[in-house]
Structure 1
């Protein structure tokens, strides 16, 4: 208890220096936690993908279509419970700044495959019955103030023209991780318009969503589907929904690696700053340490004082940074909802923040502790300043 009181008193002997060090550690830990959360969110789509859903696309690239006539043959594969299809529409609302995911899908089967999209029975029925109807996620509706019955006009990029549709439902995610910034409309609406304007692009889909009975059947079902269309004019590549998402994530993996490196560099920088602070503190107190030795304090006692002060300052800053992560994440989730479906800080991230602060305290305290514990009495008493 005596040593603990001594450590606490020493922490705030030079108040400004200690406060600045604590704030520096807190900011570094906060930045570390937010960057790690950002990286985790980048992979969250793949992590929360269903194990019973497969994606079938053109083997060459996603930009090449598949015939809609593949539907019945895929549906007949053993182990398949449901098949839907759709196209990435890529329309923009008002201008390029107002971009969000929008798909033309076969509505009934698609909603069956995505039970996490929660609609009221009436909204579902109205959507299925209206060929020019659409449903939107709750966050998307909140962003633009849409409500049921509103007319939304998308400007086509892949499919030129102005596409009007009526909001027939606003869905909510079954979980916090469910994406709520998507617009879904009828594939038939797209296809019938293409038949009139660009007939050669009609009756083609960008992907098939395939539901399987059990996750362990997914590999065999995927091989069977691809085997059916092998050597055809449009060969297929079937993969799990997680693998499909990861193919997009891999395109930006270098950026994610860079962000992770930056998060570790932030900790390394504050570690150097904290080490310099502790070294300065130990140097200023050399005479005191020598005096304590003359009073009977052992090298171990001095080591505990110096090392304990370093760890205590870092942990104090680390706890402040970890606590501050939650309001910071809430602010990001509120202000940048357009880009992040949610911004939730995990327990693992908080644990890593505290461990990072502890690491800063341990490493920054090693040299000053060794220096103070091994100082000779005569040498220490000769030093001034």
Structure 2
């Protein structure tokens, strides 16, 4: 208890300098946490993937469609439990800035392969019974204030025209990683519209297939079998695990993510240098005090404990406040960028890394001054006494 009181008194001997150092540490730790949360949000789709789902898309690009009859051929492969498909709908809701993902799906099979999208049997039945029905995620419904029964107008771009969909259900995620920002409508309605405009050939096409498998260990073998089935056809396929598919999307922004990571560590290094300077100044000012302690019989280890203890106390207080500040900072950031991230939350892992970063800053900042003061010559140190 005595040592704790001594450390607390020493830490706030120069209140302004200590407070400014803490402010810098709070800014650095909270900024580090926010940047890590942004990176985590980018990878949220990867973390939420299932090992029992494969994605089959065009070998050329995800933007090239595949024939609808592929579904039956894929379904016959051993080890496959079910097949569903989806098309990107696009469209504009009131204004282009109101962006969210909109997919046309095969209603009867889609929710079988995505059990993490939890929707009541009543809402699911209402959706399946209404060709112009839609199911939306909880977060997107909260964002726009939608309720079951509301009509959602969309201006089509990929599928031209003015579309009106009635919300028949609102789904919730199985856990915090589940995307709750989707709007799902019937693929059959879009196919009928395309058939009336340009004919059956283009109507019976899908953007990608989602394939359910029994054994995740056979994912690679089944993927090869699917692709071999359509090799040398007019629409060759590329099949991969859902995780690989999501990683491919994230890879498009890899340079940005690397820059964000680099900046987050640079911020911590800068505050480490600032705090090291603070502790060096503190040690220099107390040179005579440390020499007196050694003259009174205190060991060099006691002097080291004082410096490390003071530095760690400042780091602990600043780090704790920095972690606490991350939450309102993340909320403010999310309010301005809702359309960018499906899942955005400060994780426990991020908080632990923030605490570890603060601890490392405290230890490294005190290392050099502590080593110097432990080797101080008593006679030279006492000369500093006025």
User: Which category describes the TM-score, using the shorter chain as reference length?
Assistant: over 0.9
| Deviation by residue 1:270-289 (Cα, 9 ceiling, x = unmatched) | 00000111111111112222
The CA distance in 2 between the partners of 1:143 and 1:266, in whole Å, is 33
8 Å CA contact 1:92, 1:100 repeated in 2: no
The SS at the match of 1:77 is: coil
The SS at the match of 1:167 is: strand
What is aligned with 1:291? 292
| Deviation by residue 1:132-170 (Cα, 9 ceiling, x = unmatched) | 211111221222222222221212222222222222222
8 Å CA contact 1:333, 1:342 repeated in 2: no
State TM-score, norm by structure 2: 0.94
The CA distance in 1 between the partners of 2:57 and 2:385, in whole Å, is 76
What is aligned with 2:23? 23
Going from structure 1 to structure 2, the CA distance change for 1:4 and 1:123 (only over 3 Å counts) comes to: closer
| Deviation by residue 1:319-376 (Cα, 9 ceiling, x = unmatched) | 2222333454455556654433443333322221111111111111112112222222
The answer to which of 262-271 and 26-35 deviates more is 26-35
The SS at the match of 1:93 is: coil
The answer to which of 193-202 and 221-230 deviates more is 193-202
What is aligned with 1:305? 306
For structure 1, list consecutive stretches of 5 or more residues without a partner in the other structure. Answer: none
Aligned positions of 1:273-292 closer than 5 A: 273-292=274-293
The CA distance in 2 between the partners of 1:332 and 1:181, in whole Å, is 17
Going from structure 1 to structure 2, the CA distance change for 1:97 and 1:331 (only over 3 Å counts) comes to: closer
The CA distance in 2 between the partners of 1:358 and 1:142, in whole Å, is 39
| Deviation by residue 1:98-135 (Cα, 9 ceiling, x = unmatched) | 11100111111111111122222222112112112111
State TM-score, norm by structure 1: 0.94
1:2 to partner: Cα distance: 3.9
The SS at the match of 1:290 is: helix
For structure 2, list consecutive stretches of 5 or more residues without a partner in the other structure. Answer: none
The SS at the match of 1:104 is: strand
8 Å CA contact 2:44, 2:343 repeated in 1: no
What is aligned with 1:43? 43
The CA distance in 2 between the partners of 1:368 and 1:281, in whole Å, is 9
The CA distance in 2 between the partners of 1:149 and 1:295, in whole Å, is 82
Aligned positions of 1:100-115 closer than 5 A: 100-115=100-115
The SS at the match of 1:50 is: coil
The SS at the match of 2:253 is: helix
What is aligned with 2:273? 272
Q: CA RMSD in A?
A: 1.9
The answer to which of 205-214 and 168-177 deviates more is 168-177
What is aligned with 2:92? 92
The CA distance in 2 between the partners of 1:231 and 1:212, in whole Å, is 25
